[in-house]
Amino acid sequence: MTGFGVQSNLGQTPAEGILARLWCELLQRPLWRVFSQIRTKDHDFLPAVLTRQQVHDLLGSVRLRRYRTPIKLIYCCGLRLGECLSLTIHDILGEERKLVIRNSKGHQDRVIPLPALMLEDLRKYWSFHRHPRWLFPNVGRGDKRPQALAERMRSAKTPMPYSSLQRLIIVARKQLNLPAASIHSLRHSFATHLLEAGAHLHTIQKLLGHKQINSTMIYLHLTHQTQQDVLELMDSLCGRLPR
């Protein structure tokens, strides 16, 4: 029994319990089972973000190009892991320097700019395995010599599995003594670093594929540069006033 005489539902958060107690005790209503279906968040957790130097160190620690290239692309274009690994060669618009993300979260397509150096990296990587469809084909197990590796990748039936990059990031993070970050932290870092560099919030929203601007606004809480810029502007405005 709770302090208000209402039996608590297993799995309820404190916020849900308060709703149930208010309904039963203050409003004198019978226990309504809908409260057992309500789920609310007690806390909002900010995503882990790496500094630019930490991203540089992380990529530098990944020795194999077949892993470093997709990790670099995730950061340079703010991709989700699934969006990156499901890319095909037809999603690269080389002449336009654009990347087509198909059927992403929410079943939406989007087109985002592709940095010139990243495009060059992708071309070099594909020229190694030359898979007829996948940009990041499954490596599989077997002979690690370049020729055998390329042949196995060229005939792969599936793209690289998520776990390959997820495990690698965990190992690299521990070796570099980085914060508790994941492969998805590179996407968060991309958005935060763009915001720090002066990119408009709505531009970042389109790049990330967020339907609602509220999803993008979380990065306002992750950047110190934005706060510093505002403070400098406020100092400038104040400094020009009569004293």
CB 156 within 8 A of CB 138: yes
Tokens of 233: 């502007």
Domain boundaries, the chain: 1-43, 52-221
CB 63 within 8 A of CB 71: no
Residues in contact with 93: Cβ distance below 8 Å, sequence separation at least 6, in sequence order:
99, 100, 111, 114
Return the closest-CA partner of residue 92 out of 67, 68, 123.
Answer: 123
CB 196 within 8 A of CB 225: yes
The catalytic residues are 80, 105, 184, 187, 210, 219
pLDDT at residue 8 in the model: 41
CB 200 within 8 A of CB 105: no
CB 13 within 8 A of CB 40: yes
pLDDT at residue 9 in the model: 44
pLDDT at residue 104 in the model: 78
Return the closest-CA partner of residue 35 out of 48, 19, 50.
Answer: 19
Residues across the chain: 243
pLDDT at residue 39 in the model: 52
Residues in contact with 216: Cβ distance below 8 Å, sequence separation at least 6, in sequence order:
191, 201, 202, 204, 205, 208, 210
Query: What predicted TM-score, i.e. pTM, was given to this entire model?
Result: 0.74
pLDDT at residue 46 in the model: 63
pLDDT at residue 43 in the model: 45
pLDDT at residue 147 in the model: 94
Fold type of domain 52-221: hpI Integrase; Chain A (1.10.443)
Tens of pLDDT along the chain (243 residues) come to: 333 333 444 444 555 556 566 656 666 656 555 545 545 454 456 678 898 999 999 999 999 999 999 999 999 999 999 999 999 999 999 999 999 999 877 678 899 999 999 999 999 999 999 999 999 999 988 888 999 999 999 999 999 999 999 999 999 999 999 877 899 999 999 998 888 888 888 888 999 988 888 878 877 776 655 555 656 766 776 776 654
